[in-house]
Amino acid sequence: MRSLLAIVFILISLPTIAQEQQMDVGGGVLCDTAQQMQRFVALRGDGKDMRVALQTVNDEAQTSGACNYSLVMFTGGQPVADLEINGKPVSILEIRVHAFGNGSAWKQVTEVTQYAAVIEKGALI
């Protein structure tokens, strides 16, 4: 019963926390390092399928979790690099993730730094 109450509390608290910290919500590929994200963007620019590009970066990093597709609640968004895919500008952003979502619930986490790529109209890759 306690765990159920804790889950309910977290779900109730997240919107309040998000409003206080002005968090954004977004989904896309996130990587542990800017270099991994740059490699992912380069592979996509060379025409690689998203799954193949993710697998390649994860294989090179020797971990299955270096880059993944995630739904997150985050703050920040400082640009660390500018690239392009097929002539379209892409910015690599450093973000601070506060919660991961699965479409129906959020799991709050200790703040973790991740890197995202954003194409010209603000969409995460």
90/41 Cα distance (integer angstroms): 8
- Residue 91: inside a domain, yes or no? yes
Name the residue range of residue 47's domain.
Answer: 2-119
Average pLDDT over residues 64-74: 95
Residue 11: how many other CB atoms lie within 10 Å = 13
Q: Which residues contact 81 (CB under 8 A, 6 or more apart)?
A: 34, 38, 91, 92
Q: pLDDT confidence of 73, banded at 50, 70, 90? A: very high
Are the C-beta atoms of 115 and 92 separated by less than 8 Å? yes
Q: pLDDT confidence of 10, banded at 50, 70, 90? A: very low
pLDDT at 71: 95
More confident residue, 63 or 88: 63
Q: pLDDT confidence of 83, banded at 50, 70, 90? A: confident
Residue 62: how many other CB atoms lie within 10 Å = 7
Amino acid at the residue 105 = A
Q: How many domains does the structure of the chain reveal?
A: 1
